[in-house]
Amino acid sequence: MSNARSCDVIILGAGAAGLMAAKTAGARGRRVVVLEVANKPGKKILMSGGGRCNFTNLEVLPSHFICRNPHFVKSALKQYTNWDFIGMVAEHGIAYHEKEAGQLFCDKSSKQILAMLLQECELPNIDIFLETATSKIESNVAGGFNVTTETGVFECQSLVIATGGLSIPTLGGATGLGYDLAREFGIEVYPLSASLVPFTLSGVWKELSASLAGVSLTVDVQTPSNSFYGDMLFTHRGLSGPAILQSSNYWELGQPIIIDLIPNISLEKELLTLKQKGIKKSPLQVIAEQTARSVADKMIDYWWPQEGKKSVLELSNKTIEQIHNTFHQWSLTPSGTEGYRTAEVTKAGVSVDEISSQTMEHKHVKNLFFVGEVLDVTGHLGGFNFQWAWSSGYVAGKNA
């Protein structure tokens, strides 16, 4: 006779997607076991959104996600929408606010979101085991799985992989087990990279960034395939801030990025107008009115130490055009990113080609489900990664 503990559904990972799947499957009466390797559940929820958890967005569209199959996210996002999650947040009396561009944050603390999910999981048929490492997963004769852990073997009918990505390894949950398991089952895993992550610079740009560390300004950042308007922050190592993090989702090592340092005006137009009116103002003065003074000073000193400080009346139209181009099209190639140490997400992951978008179940390996960040679905910054975790977790919980 087998000594294995038997249940209907095992969920690997008590993060955002895993807890959502557990709550949903538990509410259907399924006997659920959640196995979590770390010493606490939902650690990323706790540290998210600067401690206030940007739990979703008022507008969630498929175009907010990067996936090799852009249609894949549609069904789950429709089955469990941002409004469904907002409804649960409201039911639990959690006060929230819109910060910018539809991004919803808790007024008080991200602890409330985790507490809400754990409360939803407080059912007699849901058990959550912490600090439980899984050493082996095998298909069993009953069409389910045997999961071997340090504390014993669990037997289940359905297995939900909610192990997340590789970022912030210090949390103790960046095991990569979901990726390894997918490969073992012959499922493709697309090359992984750290994303929603600051860029690092080298040489003169690194020096310049370090000298401006802590200064923030509004820019437009262009990668070869997308552009983002928003705040950018100079750091000791390079560039950060929302516009940079968003761009990192669309950036590959070796590619240049182009930054418009003064996206709200046309510098050429402003300078030519002043020239026509005979007004003695320098490009430095005009730029300093549009961005942080220290940035204007440093960039002018670097690019146009003489012309930048002269009156426009002394500058040729050609020079004005060149000054315009340097500030509106600062082209630089990041030397890399800060990597998984500070990244919010892991880009790419388990191929969705053979995953049902309706159920999150593998099309050939019956009863095996993948949810959340482990999949080849990466959201923009703004609450979209959590929404993906909630929606995909819900769909698996309905079907596992």
Give the binding site for ligand FDA (CB under 6 A): 12-18, 35-38, 43-44, 47-49, 53-54, 134, 162-164, 167-168, 173, 175, 177, 344-345, 372-374, 383-386, 389
What count of Cα atoms within 13 Å lies in the side-chain half-sphere of residue 66? 20
Q: How far is the CB of 389 from ligand FDA (least distance, A)?
A: 4
Q: How far is the CB of 241 from ligand FDA (least distance, A)?
A: 14
For 274-330, give the DSSP string.
Answer: HHHHT----HHHHHHHHS-HHHHHHHHHHH-TTGGGS-GGGS-HHHHHHHHHHHH-E
Instruction: Specify the residue, 178 or 263, whose C-beta has the smaller distance to ligand FDA.
Output: 178
Query: CA-to-CA distance for 377 and 391, rounded, in angstroms?
Result: 12
Position with the least CB separation from ligand FDA: 15
Instruction: Specify the residue, 163 or 399, whose C-beta has the smaller distance to ligand FDA.
Output: 163
Instruction: Specify the residue, 154 or 304, whose C-beta has the smaller distance to ligand FDA.
Output: 154
Instruction: Specify the residue, 130 or 279, whose C-beta has the smaller distance to ligand FDA.
Output: 130
Q: How far is the CB of 38 from ligand FDA (least distance, A)?
A: 4
Instruction: Specify the residue, 283 or 383, whose C-beta has the smaller distance to ligand FDA.
Output: 383
Q: How far is the CB of 240 from ligand FDA (least distance, A)?
A: 12
Instruction: Specify the residue, 134 or 326, whose C-beta has the smaller distance to ligand FDA.
Output: 134
Query: What angle in degrees, to the nearest 10, is found between the helix axes of 267-277 and 283-290?
Result: 130
Rounded to 5°, the CA angle 80-84-88 comes to 130
Query: CA-to-CA distance for 337 and 237, rounded, in angstroms?
Result: 9
Burial readout 27-47 (b: 16 or more C-beta within 10 A, e: otherwise): beebbbbbbbbbeebbbbbbe
Query: CA-to-CA distance for 174 and 261, rounded, in angstroms?
Result: 36
Q: How far is the CB of 96 from ligand FDA (least distance, A)?
A: 12
Instruction: Specify the residue, 295 or 345, whose C-beta has the smaller distance to ligand FDA.
Output: 345
Q: How far is the CB of 255 from ligand FDA (least distance, A)?
A: 23
Q: How far is the CB of 139 from ligand FDA (least distance, A)?
A: 18
Query: CA-to-CA distance for 106 and 54, rounded, in angstroms?
Result: 7
Query: CA-to-CA distance for 66 and 250, rounded, in angstroms?
Result: 9
